[in-house]
Structure 1
Amino acid sequence: METKPLPKDAILVVNAHSRRGQDMFAQARDGLEAAGIRLIEAHAVEEPEKMAATVRAAVDSGAPMVIVGGGDGSMSGTVDELVGKDCVFGVLPLGTANSFARTLGLPLDLDGAVKAIATGQRRRVDLGMIDRDYFVNAASLGLSPMIGRTVPHKLKRYLGRIGYLLWAVKCSVGFRAFRLTIDDGQKERRMWSTEVRILNGPYHGGVELSDNAAVDTGEIVVQAVVGRSKPRLAWDWYAKFFKLRDRDAHTEEFHGKSFRIDTKPRQRISIDGEVLAKTPVTVKIAAGAIEVAVPAS
């Protein structure tokens, strides 16, 4: 079935606090207009906590497309405002890992992302949910939230994924494994784990972690690194980063529409890089929740 073309009118909202947001706002605004997008409004938001309200106002104004510039946290923090609305979500990847953009097949350079919005097509995609909070790409519990909660902003901003890696080594010293319970409503599974990834797409932290997660399957994927060994967790990230043959040797995956996840002790949950929840939680899929702008096939 042929979809409607992408709108040519849009509102631009850029997280100017993100890694490249301050530098890229003017370039994005000028590039979009040069590519034929008529910007009804353009906002450089200095305070990240105001991103959602700015996007909400843009959607409520009737804009046919809202283009959000920032990292995965900016996308997750604003996407709730588009669920159930006749408004296309445009993505400008200006963050550190840009996992959602990778999942969508978007170019990670600004010019390429602008071209996708100006000349691409609509695609209806799923969103993940942690209780009632929508997210675009991935949530995690274990070591990742500890890193996300404590990593210095300047380290993240200027060193990107290398900064995360350095901080991960520091955080791992005091980290301990936890007891994990996963319940799909029919069967309850218990195991020791060092990290759990809740995936709406294959990427987390810019690394492809799953061959089975995608944004159009109508299922959420829960991937657990099993056991109590911290070296095993480090090896899992290494093996997946370099796509080694045995990269799935230390993980178990569960697929479905909804799961109840609990841990002992309770674990904080990072949702696309922002620590926003704590176990126990219900995770589920919101199938076909929004339309996004992607490159033409």
Structure 2
Amino acid sequence: MSPCRSHERSPLFIVFNVHSGRGSAQALRDAIAAACAAQERAYRLFEVTRLHRLPERIREAVDAARAEAGVVVAAGGDGTINAVAQALLGSGCALGVLPKGTFNYFSRTHAIPTDTGEALRVLLGARPVPVQVGLVNERVFLVNASLGLYARVLEDREVYKSRYGRSRWVALWSAVVTAMRRHPGWDLHIRWRGEEHLVRTPTLFVGNNALQLQQVGMPRPEAVEQGELTAIALRPTGRLALFALMLHGALSRLGDADNVMHASFRSMSVSPVQRRRRRAKVATDGEVQRMDMPLHFRVAPEPLWLIKPESGEREDARR
């Protein structure tokens, strides 16, 4: 179901996670009010001051948007955008984004500016375009999903951020510290394209974001723009070799490393060799939750309708 194409007058229902990013919450409120007043655009703000209330506020916004043929806007980081997309997929409403996170991979890959004023200009003037959604056990991911070491890195990152603040340097330092610890790894049966592979790996990463894949140097990052997802698994290795892999990623050369396996697919099933491992911690767009095994990764059968710049416009937001 596609949203109404004449959405330019549709009211905005904005889910604002005040905990995302480092900017002033009041500055964002003022910018939204000024931009919408200038365009005579109606809006409602659903502020999230307590994270446990995020799902409730999202449901309220989506219900209101469906009743009034409106647009649901996620003001926050990739985790907030993911939560809104989970509730929005299949609703018939379009998604708008005001990036407020640390990395903002989803908004940057779709050329949505990180500057609030420019992002509001896109939100109020651009049209909805279908974009690909990934699913793992029916849980949405727009950027990536993972289990093993990468999920642990994301889990530990939140602890470091709570202590030292939300910045890219804190996130990167916490990743190094976590990666240098001992990790038992996973023995997995992985099935895709009619074949089954036995893979031992400390982490399995599935990407749905061309910008992130390009930045770490994976071949064919455009596969996710051609209807596929990309799986990356690291072969078992020592701590120094793992650190070398991290350097390859930082230098955009991860695809050249000998200890990296990768493949593109539309659907993939992952189950543990050890039957006692019935559940796993899985991270989707930075948020970690426990999921039952096996894990089923696939491209969602329907797209998310995202308000984003036309392809011919300059994509400075990717930089």
Fold match, TM over 0.5?
Answer: yes
1:174-189 map, 5 Å: 174-184=182-192, 186-189=194-197
3-state secondary structure, aligned to 2:202: strand
Distance 1:51 1:206 in 2: 31
**Per-residue CA distance 1:103-127 (angstroms, 9 max, x = gap):** 2122222222222212223210111
Counterpart amino acid of residue 184 in structure 2:
R
3-state secondary structure, aligned to 1:101: helix
Contact 1:178 1:194 in 2 (8 A): yes
**Per-residue CA distance 1:156-178 (angstroms, 9 max, x = gap):** 87242211222122222232333
Equivalent residue, structure 2, for 1:82 = 88
| Shift of residue 294, structure 1, vs aligned partner | 0.7
| Shift of residue 205, structure 1, vs aligned partner | 10
Matched, 1:30 2:68: no
Counterpart amino acid of residue 165 in structure 2:
Y
1:51-70 map, 5 Å: 51-61=54-64, 62=67, 63-70=69-76
1:192-231 map, 5 Å: 192-204=200-212, 207-208=215-216, 210=218, 211-213=220-222, 216-231=225-240
Q: 300, 303, 309: which is aligned to 1:295?
A: 309
Distance 1:225 1:35 in 2: 51
Between 234-243 and 125-134, the greater mean CA deviation after superposition: 234-243
Counterpart amino acid of residue 138 in structure 1:
N
Q: Which runs of 5+ in 1 are unaligned?
A: none
Q: 6, 10, 13: which is aligned to 1:11?
A: 13
3-state secondary structure, aligned to 2:15: strand
Q: Structure 1 residues 149, 11: closer, same or farther in 2, change over 3 A?
A: same
| Shift of residue 16, structure 1, vs aligned partner | 0.9
Contact 2:71 2:96 in 1 (8 A): yes
**Per-residue CA distance 1:82-105 (angstroms, 9 max, x = gap):** 111221100111111111112212
Hey, which of these two has a bigger chunk of strand by percent?
Answer: 1
Contact 1:182 1:188 in 2 (8 A): yes
Counterpart amino acid of residue 57 in structure 2:
T
Equivalent residue, structure 2, for 1:160 = 167
Contact 2:154 2:286 in 1 (8 A): yes
1:99-114 map, 5 Å: 99-114=105-120
| Shift of residue 245, structure 1, vs aligned partner | 8.5
Equivalent residue, structure 1, for 2:243 = 234
Q: Structure 1 residues 221, 236: closer, same or farther in 2, change over 3 A?
A: same
Distance 1:117 1:221 in 2: 29
Contact 2:89 2:304 in 1 (8 A): yes
| Shift of residue 232, structure 1, vs aligned partner | 3.5
Distance 1:268 1:6 in 2: 39
| Shift of residue 286, structure 1, vs aligned partner | 0.6
Between 224-233 and 134-143, the greater mean CA deviation after superposition: 224-233
TM-score between both structures, scaled by the size of structure 1: 0.86
**Per-residue CA distance 1:182-239 (angstroms, 9 max, x = gap):** 1126111122223221111124599545433555422222121223334343333322
Between 56-65 and 66-75, the greater mean CA deviation after superposition: 56-65
Q: Structure 1 residues 37, 209: closer, same or farther in 2, change over 3 A?
A: farther
| Shift of residue 32, structure 1, vs aligned partner | 3.6
Equivalent residue, structure 2, for 1:130 = 136
Counterpart amino acid of residue 25 in structure 1:
L
Distance 1:115 1:206 in 2: 27
How high is the sequence identity, in percent, across the aligned residues? 23
Contact 1:140 1:196 in 2 (8 A): yes
Q: Which runs of 5+ in 2 are unaligned?
A: 313-319
TM-align CA RMSD:
2.8
